[in-house]
Amino acid sequence: MKKFTISLFALISANVMAVSSIERPQENIPPKLRFGVFEVKEKGSRLLESNQFSVSNKEHKLCWAAFDMPFDVSNTVIEVFYSPKKAKFIDTIQQVSTSEDGKTHTVTSKLPSQQGKFIERCWTFDKNDPLGKYSVDIQVNDIIFPTQYFEVTK
């Protein structure tokens, strides 16, 4: 069962803030997406080198942050997850629709940005979720980011 969590991770925030605070010339800077599996501990978070999410590691979170783009007061976020087998995605706040075969899950949200600098979402997986390779398409307002990939392991 997928469980949605929203949290500001120091690692993502620090990276986004550092990038956002640099003086830039007036040129078109492409929107950016930071995506990965994070190990979240009380002392802070760390981005793992691989995109492998271990359901046995309770400190793992799958997170993304979109930045270097214009944001609205309320931003439309669409996440489309493709699971290797039938799965159930749950988000207690946002709208989730699942395909008939149970492998495609569309989560539609209206989210504020964090001080106009970024939007972040995080997910957890557990032993009830199918193991294997997943992909996710992420859209924030009219910006569609490249497909992201991750693997859920024991």
- Counting Cβ atoms within 10 Å, is residue 80 exposed (0-12), middle (13-18) or buried (19+)? middle
**pLDDT at residue 5, as a whole number:** 43
Give residue-wise pLDDT tens across range 74-114. Answer: 999 999 999 999 999 998 888 899 999 999 999 999 999 99
Q: Do residues 140 and 77 make contact, with C-beta atoms less than 8 angstroms apart?
A: yes
Could you tell me the two tokens for 122?
A: 């995080």
**pLDDT at residue 18, as a whole number:** 44
Q: How far is CA 18 from the centre of its chain?
A: 20
Q: Which helix (H) or strand (E) holds 36?
A: strand 32-41
Q: Do residues 68 and 29 make contact, with C-beta atoms less than 8 angstroms apart?
A: yes
Give residue-wise pLDDT tens across range 40-69. Answer: 998 889 999 999 999 999 999 999 999 999
Helices and strands per DSSP (H, E), number in the chain: 1, 12
DSSP 91: -
Q: Do residues 117 and 16 make contact, with C-beta atoms less than 8 angstroms apart?
A: yes
Give residue-wise pLDDT tens across range 123-142. Answer: 999 999 999 999 999 999 99
The domains located in the chain, with CATH, are 32-152 (2.60.40.1930)
**pLDDT at residue 3, as a whole number:** 45
Residue 2 has pLDDT above 70, yes or no: no
**pLDDT at residue 26, as a whole number:** 53
Residue 53 backbone dihedrals phi, psi, to 5 degrees: -100, 115
**pLDDT at residue 22, as a whole number:** 45
Q: How many residues are recorded in the chain?
A: 154
